[in-house]
Amino acid sequence: MSAIHPTAIVDPGAELDSNVSVGPYSLIGPHVKIGAGTTVGPHVVIEGHTTIGCDNRIFQFTSLGAIPQDKKYAGEPCELVIGDRNTIREFCSFNIGSPGDAGVTRLGDDNWIMAYVHLAHDCQVGNHTIFANNATLAGHVHVGDWAILGGFTGVHQFVRIGAHCMTAISSVLLADLPPFVMCQGQPASARSMNYEGLRRRGFSPERLAGVKAMHKALYREDLTLQAARERIAELDKSEPQRTPDVQMMLSFLDQVSAQRGIVR
């Protein structure tokens, strides 16, 4: 049997693995599914069409699966999907998706989400990210793997954040942040690349040299975005180890809209 506190209210339609624990005064709705090993703290509300994977730890006063903060929403059965081994701290709020997008808000695996983080409707967050306290994503934001958002970071709707990025405290992102970039400011400006984070993740000297060359093309040579993209496309020809990183950067730049641009 699941370890459900007697004061918790779990709808009979909810699907909880036998190894799930639910703390005092928590509320779990009829369309919720929770995988093995997940612990739900006290005073947590999980509602809507919400699917939560295995071995997550959800702390007290968190709200998961509420309807989007979108005036156009009219009760459509959109979803929130959370992967495995995530830590979700106090007072976080993750909304379901909206019919104006894919209809799904998604958090991947192995993420470390600190207190008061908000994921608005249709956000897509990858794996191994860290969101510090009060990081806030507006609707339709995409965040790549291993990204780190500093406390009080605010992200405008539809902005994309590339893999291995890092933002400083109180950064405001109004444009796309390419992979590997560290930024700071209101609005945010690029400061460097996340070299120390890449070293910790096992990037070889050859790969780091490729990241430095991409930074130079994007930010140090006064090139247009198209010219920088063409320069970056040449980088992996002499060093095959750079190919995955170069291709990831090129794919990201190919999706940048003319209206939004990138953080400069």
Catalytic residues: 121-122, 139
The secondary element (H helix, E strand) that includes residue 15 is: strand 15-16
* Torsional sign, CA 113, 90, 171, 141: positive
Structure token digits, residue 155: 């992200």
How far apart are the C-alpha atoms of 20 and 24, rounded to whole Å?
14
Residue pair 16/10 in contact by the 8 Å Cβ criterion: yes
Computed on alpha carbons and rounded to an integer, the radius of gyration of the chain in Å comes to: 20
Helix (H, G, I), strand (E, B) or coil at 49: strand
Residue pair 157/175 in contact by the 8 Å Cβ criterion: no
How far apart are the C-alpha atoms of 139 and 170, rounded to whole Å?
19
CA distances from 122 to 66, 86, 113, 232 (A): 13, 18, 17, 31
Report strand pairing: 188-193 vs 181-185: antiparallel
Structure token digits, residue 6: 């007697």
